[in-house]
Amino acid sequence: MDQLNRVSVDIFSELAKLPVIVVLDNIRSQHNIGSIFRTSDAFRIRELYLCGITATPPNREINKSALGATESVAWQYFEKTTDAIMQLKSLGFTVIALEQAEGSIELEEYAVAPEGKYALVFGNEVTGVSDEVMDELNACVEIPQFGTKHSFNVSVTAAIVLYHFFTYLKRHIA
């Protein structure tokens, strides 16, 4: 591990974070939640907002895929996702859902502003981002897909999208 140059959780907590908050809107799979914690750690996102039925740490099933990231990534719980969205908007975040919806923008066409602050909303594995949340967005982005299936696993979507935003915003954490 020394050769990988990994930092401790204490040092990680002091490092600059990507100006991104991940919002999980009623995610049902605890393994997906853990995977998103782990990806959020990898890209040093600012915080995770866990909403509705989304499970929270400490949780054995989340820990199986988080591999300790629940200790490094800051998080908050909100009973209602719309409360989280309203708070984020009041703090100047651009709120973006990752969803296949009318009027959505393909990910590679979304212009990430280098000085922006973003809240990325990922929805339930079956029903997607809730209608109430969709009504409060600044934008909706989707990942184009060309196979017989028309959805990615939510943790895969989070990894793709967070990497995309990381490539534009990484100088904030350099």
Question: Which structural domains are found in the chain, ordered by start?
Answer: 2-172 (3.40.1280.10)
Q: Where does the pLDDT of residue 13 fall: very low under 50, low under 70, confident under 90, or very high at 90 and above? A: very high
* The pair of three-digit structure tokens given for residue 142, joined into one six-digit string: 């989707």
What are the backbone dihedrals phi and psi of residue 14, each rounded to the nearest 5 degrees, phi first? Answer: -90, -15
Which tens digits make up the pLDDT trace of 18-40? 999 999 999 999 999 999 999 99
Measured between alpha carbons, how far is 96 from 86 in angstroms, rounded to an integer? 13
pLDDT at 33: 98
Decide if 27 contacts 130 (C-beta within 8 A).
no
Q: Where does the pLDDT of residue 2 fall: very low under 50, low under 70, confident under 90, or very high at 90 and above? A: low
Single pTM value for the model? 0.95
Closest CA to 162 of 43, 72, 24: 43
Angle between helices 154-169 and 30-42 (to 10 degrees): 10
